[in-house]
Structure 1
Amino acid sequence: MDEQSVRAALEHYIRFSAAGDEDRASEIYCEDAVLEFPQSGERFEGVANFREWRREYPAEVELEIVRVRGRDDFWVVEIRARYDGGAWLFGPALYEFRGDLVARETIYVGEAWEPPEWRARWRAAP
């Protein structure tokens, strides 16, 4: 895999998931893919299991890819997500590929915070 292929796969997921087509969105996964949320301790085995709960998800989810970094079959994707138009949440998602398909996805999400003024003089310009 290369960065362009990883980004294309994730954009495929985002586009079809946003359109409510979880079957098409899930085409990026191996049938035996694993999805993990370390913050809640949840682990879903098999794309059929997490595709079904994603169909029932009670909120409108917006996702944006910020940055993609990695090599071979392991990639880290910085993402932004928000639910029902709320505040953006940030985090990394870890992707392990088997060929062109996602075999494992681990998602971390956290709230944004305002930078403290006391360290402003050391910050790089945006």
Structure 2
Amino acid sequence: MEDEQILEALNAHWQASAAGDINTEHDIYDDDVICDYPQSGERIFGRSNLQALRGHHPGKPSGFRVRRILGKADIWITEYTINYQGQTAFTVSIMEFRDRKVIHETQYFADPFEAPAWRSQWVEPIE
């Protein structure tokens, strides 16, 4: 699969996720996908379980913004923010493709934190 096709599939996936289109969102996954959430120690086996888990999330996203997508060949990384019930999570998704479908995804979620004042002379705020 060419990089442009994967990027197109990823853009469709993230747009569907942001719109709450759970069926289109999960078209990108292989039936036997494995999705890991290392921070909670969970592993989800199979597209149907992943879709069911996400479909039963008690709070629908109220905001979603892809910051950037990087990748080549079979490994792709997406950085994005997602808002659930007034809380922003900075998220990284690492996807491994085979035969035009995601066979493994790992997602990391991080809460925002206040930047310490002592380093203000060396940094600029990110919008």
Aligned to 2:12: 12
Deviations 1:6-49 (A, max 9, x none): 44323322333444432222111111111110011110111011
What does 1:31-110 correspond to in 2, within 5 Å? 31-61=31-61, 62-84=63-85, 86-110=86-110
Query: Is the partner of 1:51 in helix, strand or coil?
Result: helix
Distance 2:21 2:87 in 1: 24
Q: CA deviation at 1:117?
A: 1.6
Distance 2:5 2:45 in 1: 24
Gaps of 5+ in 1: none
Normalization by structure 1: what TM-score? 0.84
Aligned to 1:122: 122
Distance 1:78 1:24 in 2: 20
Question: RMSD of aligned C-alpha atoms?
Answer: 2.1
Gaps of 5+ in 2: none
When residues 37 and 72 of structure 1 are mapped into structure 2, their CA distance, relative to the original with a 3 A threshold, is same
Letter in 1 for 2:105: E
Distance 2:68 2:17 in 1: 20
Count of residue pairs brought into register by the alignment: 124
Letter in 2 for 1:81: I
When residues 20 and 115 of structure 1 are mapped into structure 2, their CA distance, relative to the original with a 3 A threshold, is closer
Normalization by structure 2: what TM-score? 0.83
Over the matched positions of the two proteins, sequence identity in percent amounts to: 33
